[in-house]
Structure 1
Amino acid sequence: MTANGIASIGECMLELSGQAGPNWRMGFAGDTFNTLWALHALSPERPATYVSAFGDDPFSRDQIGFFAQNGIGIGNSPVIAGARPGLYAITLTGAERAFTYWRSDAAARQLASDPVALEKSLENQALVYFSGITLAILDNAARKILLAAIATARSTGSLVAFDPNYRPRLWQSRETAQAAILEALAVADIALPTFPDEQMLFADETPQATAERLGKLVGEVVVKNGEQPALIAMNGEAQTVEAVHVATPVDTTGAGDSFNGGYLAARLAGHAPADAARRAHKVAAAVVQVRGALAPFETLRAAFDS
């Protein structure tokens, strides 16, 4: 069977957003799911799978149903009796967001509990995507199982993309995060770091320093830097691609994740890295003009093709 699918691994949570007085809007989001959402919108011909672990409560059932309604499967992800999804709430100051989380016992922390099922979920995938947050929610033994499954998928032809996405609160220590992320980079073909994260984690002084450091480990590196240009490093050469300025952003949630989805969709479609980054910037700019992390598929497609 030809590898044609796209799989993203991690935690999709209940998202509370759009507060108006005592009322909140509930949706589903999380960094790797946000990326898969954009990827799926922009690569509709490719089967999309979100690889995680789920509870058997009504919210988990609604979550899986939401995926299915939008053409996203869960592969062989375990459904765990008595478990439930994590939850976060977004509060906004202007367009800038802050997050409050309730996720310590989330089902997704058990996504590597069945190694055989995990490997099965990653079979026949053209692309496997995961992040530093995926690593951070797992204990050390589960991380090793996950990375072994990804390495197996890569050895059978899957392209592997990784965003370090460093969130200090999720890690026991900075050193633990550094070690785990370096192990993840060893099984990746494309790295999609964000410069301020790399500055915090590895003390990089410039995006160029990040690109040079990661370029020794991964063949293709794209350093995101908010509204600053993205820096692409590949085959020993570097180039910058200007971001798209949005004068009045509504909500910056999911912008970097959607950039990743746009970039990877373009690369899978055969676009060169610089063109992929230009398209990805347009996708990210569209996302910051809507509330929540998930923009409508039509919005993403229009931005990608503009």
Structure 2
Amino acid sequence: MARDGIASIGECMLELSGRTGADWRMGFAGDTLNTLWALRALSGPEREASYVSAFGDDPFSKEQIAFFQANGIGIGESPIIAGARPGLYAITLTGAERSFTYWRGDSAARQLASDPGRLSKSLENQSLVYFSGITLAILEPAARKTLIDAVDRARKAGSLVAFDPNYRPRLWASTDAARAAIDEAASIVDIALPTFPDEQSLYGDATPEDTASRLAAVGVKEIVVKNGELPALVCNDGAVESVPAVHVAEPVDTTGAGDSFNGSYLAARLAGSPPVEAARTAHAVAAAVVQVRGALAPFETLRAAFRPS
């Protein structure tokens, strides 16, 4: 079977974004969905895209799935769980900086590894499998092990595996639990896309170079350490280069910028761009994303900024 698909694993939530007064806009988002959204926009039509999760049978879950389908995204063999429902978060902005309030304790996505056979089936014959530290954090330890085993099998069968540690302290019982799970995940990935402030918070890294060295020591060959408006550090098989970000004088909304960087970086790599050029392209896309509201920028916005080489 052809190996040309893309699978992203995680939690899609209902997103409420504030406008003015009591008016709110509802959409769909989540870190691994945001990354897949950019991948879907920037990859060729021959690449099937799947969002691997678990969904409820409520009207909002049905709307999520219909929204995916309308934008060329399937759900693989993801289970539909009777009585379950999606998580919810609300974004509030101070200038362009965002803060979040979450309601996700009984999210259907917490059961994404409840059927190991269906999970493994969703990851078969994929060019790329992507997941994050948030994917790990929403799962109980046994389910987390099921997920890591399924990803490892996909990698051994030939899939490229990419991972963003995306550390969110509130989702973890302790820093020790987070470190243990993220370290185990890092040992089975080909491309790591960490964000330096997250790594500094969790591991005490003093510099992006420290982050890259730590990940390289567990066997990750390709590492891109993001650092907001500061340069990204690109490390590939021992070669290290700093790639400046694209400055945006007046960003509108920074929601999803790092996820869009990840998606455009991976799309460029799948298109054949070398890592440093892929990072330059990803910075350009992220700069375009912060100039629109919401986590999911229009496909046209993403494509206009995407210039792989």
Shorter-chain TM-score bucket reads over 0.9
1:29 aligns with 2:29: yes
1:89 aligns with 2:90: yes
Distance 1:20 1:117 in 2: 43
What is the deviation of 1:292?
A: 0.5
Distance 1:63 1:44 in 2: 23
- Which amino acid is 1:22 matched to? A
Aligned to 2:74: 73
- Which amino acid is 2:294 matched to? G
Aligned to 2:307: 305
Aligned to 2:227: 225
Fraction of identical pairs, as percent: 74
Aligned to 2:245: 243
Distance 2:137 2:262 in 1: 19
Aligned to 2:13: 13
What is the deviation of 1:305?
A: 2.4
Aligned to 1:171: 172
- Which amino acid is 2:40 matched to? H
What is the deviation of 1:215?
A: 1.4
Distance 2:181 2:195 in 1: 17
Distance 1:44 1:288 in 2: 24
Aligned to 2:255: 253
Distance 1:288 1:44 in 2: 24
SS at match of 2:19: strand
TM normalised by structure 2 equals: 0.98
Distance 1:301 1:154 in 2: 29
SS at match of 1:232: strand
**RMSD over aligned Cα, in angstroms?**
0.7
- Which amino acid is 2:281 matched to? R
Distance 1:203 1:147 in 2: 25
Distance 2:216 2:188 in 1: 14
Aligned to 1:279: 281
TM normalised by structure 1 equals: 0.99
Distance 2:301 2:22 in 1: 29
1:217-253, Cα deviation, whole Å (9 max, x unpaired): 2010000000000001111121011100000000000
1:54-65, aligned counterparts within 5 Å? 54-65=55-66
1:193-215, Cα deviation, whole Å (9 max, x unpaired): 00000000000001111111111
Contact 1:4 1:47 in 2 (8 A): yes
1:142 aligns with 2:143: yes
- Between stretches 88-97 and 39-48, larger displacement belongs to 39-48
4+ long deviations beyond 4 Å: none
Aligned to 2:297: 295
What is the deviation of 1:18?
A: 3.2
Which blocks of at least 5 consecutive residues in structure 1 are unaligned? none
Contact 1:255 1:284 in 2 (8 A): yes
SS at match of 2:151: helix
- Which amino acid is 1:159 matched to? L
Distance 1:240 1:166 in 2: 23
SS at match of 2:283: helix
Contact 1:282 1:304 in 2 (8 A): yes
What is the deviation of 1:97?
A: 0.1
Distance 1:245 1:223 in 2: 17
Distance 1:184 1:230 in 2: 22
Distance 1:255 1:143 in 2: 26
How many residue pairs match? The answer is: 306
- Between stretches 134-143 and 37-46, larger displacement belongs to 37-46
Distance 2:18 2:74 in 1: 27
1:107-256, aligned counterparts within 5 Å? 107-217=108-218, 218-256=220-258
